[in-house]
Structure 1
């Protein structure tokens, strides 16, 4: 940093005669004033480009918009609008075109605006009470390792889905017109002027005729220690492209980075089929905490065992933010994978507090609870004020409560919550659909999906 204290130059200046100093003082002041004006002007002109904390959010947003509009060609603007329209955000597509006068007045721009307005007139509101919710556990990447006859095989065969099965399911659902939406699109909180608090209202999901909204979630995205060596990913990382990817241990012990679980596999599918996602929606990722989060051993029980625990906790924070930025939502699956409907109330309190302290703090919290084992804290009737488990969980910040239900859809909105049943798309479900009673014919043909590598019959392992 420059030293601005008086040095040799200062002493020379003060040794000059008074008359000479008096004659040069006006010139010096004028030069100094001019310099200050130039510096201030330069700072003012540069300021909108800065994204530092001193800039207001509106200034930063305006700067980004001005820079983007200034740099994009009409072709690029139209391509960006087309991508927004492909994901059913026609208002955003039109706004992107109209933000650039040249593009908006061009023949192509006018044609695109007309087209998007025409499509908007044909959209159909989805019935929020008829939106299905499907869920998965960690995907099996190596069938030979998962189905190797050891004491964990039955559990994997029951509650896990193989990579080929998941890919076939997504393709079949896409072909049938299914579109991923966020659970926050189904219903969301607004200010309630009558109470001064909040209330839950139904969302308005508008899709073209023939399209059907659905919600997707994945449980236990923790990569538990017991899964080591059984053909699953090792963890989630922030990839070189800023997107979530997995690490997986190969047969030779090396670590490979790629799409080794549901998150990056679905990301790649949506990249190829943008109309499979409503305004960038992905799925819900639910985690426990007793073995850490996202494959990192971050729980306090690992202190003294994991020498990199603080660095791993920071990685979890970064992965969580990466997931949110990528369109995913995060959820609690309890800390210890406990049955919240059966355990003593005091144990429920303890478990939830551990999740809040050891998991929620790392991933940024959530208002979504996916019940372990699908076990709700009430029956099918609406939650009531005298349900202490519900009231406690609501006071902990949860507003979305998801159990497991084999019906096509189960959606219940209270004044201050949303409940949704989830359908397990795993080995047991596929086997039952082929041999006993089909519960998934609205989604796909189970016989076309079932992985022939699975040992049969598939047992009911009662996982969750």
Structure 2
């Protein structure tokens, strides 16, 4: 006799025709087949036909019961599935309600919110996007009424902390603390912790020795050495006084690794009015971590002269589509591109990556002559056909007024980006040898053609050729050249000095020596004739071997 029982774990899709026997619904006992010659207890007379009939009735009853149980299992399975679905929906709804309820406490931000909308609440961004802690945004309700919704974007908090941290990285701990203390997050535990950390770090700073601050300078950086360093006189001059982009990038990296920190001339000393009404140049404290060394950087002739066109240098300064200062460059094939082809964008990128290389946002000093215009634009009056000072040897600039406005925009961007602006005279003349009349006339032309393009009066002059108007002693009242420059508003005067550092603060003036990091100076250290740059860099790894050598001064 075959025994088959179907348990609760059997396949619900099993065909009923495959089941011979099952459990009795009433008793739960197994029911067996009774054919194959066995007697049936329910048959009293043992008639085969009656036995067959009774067997068929029981079999039909079992099949009906099995079908009923199968349908019950199916209905039960669907019931649990629907129940699970409702539970899942309830859980999702509870999560959504919970997130909304906690939104004000957790400061969840809004997707797409920009730093501009975070840091400038008066910008064109929506009021809701600019709302911070405690701000209520009024919106239209279902019936046209007004409902209040709390808004506290996480982006604002994150951007604010990032701004404060960057100020602290640049050693401006007071500004970093004030940024948080004057914000909507001044009671935020994380803001309070940061302020405490800034103040603790500031207490460990030490004052630098301002007399030991070195000042390095460059000319326009060389992009294409093959076109620049040719075997003619001009190419040899370029090889002497220019620095290549790879050299400049390596110098930045090595000075950074040696603990140098970029400062401005105005960080070293400032003019202060005294009680008697006179002005006096007073030394300022530069507070840095112990072991850090402040230095000044400048770039001469940021004009992109006509004689440099087609020689492997940048064409002019521009603002890219993001409002960033960049350079336009034309390669040997005539292709024009916008990129990092001089000190300004390269230094910006380096400080973005290493904010601790800059003291309170300081960058380099940009020095301008005027006779060829500035920043690659022919803005000088000698290019203006309508000016009495137009030079017929120049090609008149029909767009001179528009170019002047462009330069004003660029000058303003430079100052806002941390650069200081300086005079390099109008005609790149020698201040030691030329007469007072010549210097006066040159200064007037510079003020008229260059200073008027600057966002504020200029008080720095970097002497062309490093040619000073006096010796090592402080400028005296009987120095007529100094009196003329002082009257013109200059207070910071820089020559060229081969020593590591020279700074003089006297009266209402500050003087500083500068060190040339050009082809000639790099070559002299590279070939072993001198060792004047070892405090700044390893010249053997910096020198660009694409340069024609030897490099002699002429």
Indicate the TM-score class for this superposition, using the shorter chain for normalisation: 0.7 to 0.9
Q: Which residue of the partner structure matches residue 374 of structure 1? A: 466
Question: Equivalent residues in 2 for 1:67-78 (5 A)?
Answer: 73-78=156-161
* 518, 529, 532: which one aligns with 1:439: 532
Partner of 2:170: 87
Residues in 1 aligned to 2:447 and 2:185: alpha-carbon distance in whole angstroms: 51
Residue number among 167, 171, 187 corresponding to 2:269 in the alignment: 187
Residues 393 and 120 of structure 1: CA distance in aligned 2, closer, same or farther (over 3 Å): same
* Counterpart-to-counterpart distance in 1, 2:498 and 2:322: 38
Asked if 2 retains the 8 angstrom alpha-carbon contact of 1:238 and 1:318, the reply is no
Q: For structure 1, which segment, 299-308 or 424-433, has the greater mean C-alpha deviation from structure 2 after superposition?
A: 299-308
1:455 equivalent in structure 2: 548
Q: 1:453 to 1:361 in 2, by over 3 A?
A: same
Secondary structure of the 1:199 match is strand
Which residues of 2 match residues 58-457 of structure 1 at below 5 A?
Answer: 73-100=156-183, 102=185, 104-106=187-189, 108-194=190-276, 196-304=277-385, 305-364=396-455, 365-434=457-526, 435-457=528-550
Q: In structure 1, what is the Cα distance between the partners aligned to 2:280 and 2:319?
A: 36
* Deviation of 1:448 (Å): 1.4
> Does the 8 A contact of 2:132 with 2:184 survive in 1?
no
Instruction: Give the structure 2 partner of residue 26 of structure 1.
Output: none
Following superposition, the deviation at residue 301 of structure 1 comes to 1.4
Cα contact 1:243–1:326 (8 A) shared by 2: no
CA–CA distance in structure 1, aligned partners of residues 429 and 229 of structure 2: 26
**Structure 1 contact 128–186 (Cα < 8 Å) conserved:** yes
SS of aligned partner of 1:294: coil
Tell me the SS of whatever aligns to 1:200. strand
The alpha carbon displacement at 1:103 in A equals 5.0
**CA distance, structure 2, for counterparts of residue 162 and residue 277 of structure 1:** 22
How far apart, CA to CA, are the structure 1 residues paired with 2:121 and 2:198?
Answer: 32
**Correspondence for 1:37:** none
For the residue of structure 1 that corresponds to 2:164, the secondary structure is helix
For the residues of structure 2 that align with 1:320 and 1:135, how far apart are their CA atoms? Answer: 20
What residue ranges of structure 1 are gaps of 5+ in the alignment? 1-47, 52-65
- The structure number with the bigger radius of gyration is 2
Deviations 1:83-109 (A, max 9, x none): 111111111111122224645441x33
Classify the secondary structure of the residue corresponding to 1:73.
helix
Matches of 1:346 and 1:99 in 2, distance apart? 53
| CA 1:293–1:101: 2 relative to 1, 3 Å | closer
Distance in 2, matches of 1:50 and 1:271, equals 26
CA 1:303 to 1:328, structure 2 compared with 1: closer, same or farther past 3 Å? same
Deviation at 1:138, TM superposition (A): 0.2
> By how many angstroms is 1:50 displaced?
6.9
Q: Distance in 1 between matches of 2:215 and 2:374?
A: 24
Say which structure is richer in helix: 1
Structure 1 length normalisation: TM-score?
Answer: 0.83
The gaps in structure 2 that reach 5 residues or longer are 1-119, 124-129, 136-152, 386-395
Q: Distance in 2 between matches of 1:418 and 1:73?
A: 42
Residue 225 of structure 1, CA deviation: 0.6
Is the alpha carbon distance of 1:377 and 1:116 closer, same or farther for their aligned partners in structure 2, counting shifts above 3 Å? same
- Answer yes or no: is the 8 Å Cα contact 1:135–1:424 preserved in 2: yes
Kept in 2: contact 1:137–1:159 (CA 8 A): yes
CA deviation string 1:198-217 (max 9, x = no partner): 21100111011121111100
SS of residue in 2 equivalent to 1:405:
coil
Q: Give per-residue Cα distances to partners, 1:140-159, cap 9 Å, x unaligned.
A: 01111112323211111111
Q: How much does 1:446 deviate?
A: 1.3
Counterparts of 2:162 and 2:410, CA distance in 1 = 29
8 Å CA contact 1:332, 1:368 repeated in 2: yes
Answer whether contact 2:312 2:331 (CA < 8 A) is retained: no
**Contact persistence 2:132–2:156 (CA under 8 A):** no
| TM superposition score normalised by structure 2 | 0.70
**What do residues 107-149 of structure 1 show as CA deviations (whole Å, max 9, x unaligned)?**
x333322221221111010111111100000000111111232
Greater relative contact order, per chain length (Cα 8 Å cut-off, separation 6+): 1
Name which of structure 1's ranges 433-442 and 276-285 shifts more when overlaid on structure 2: 433-442
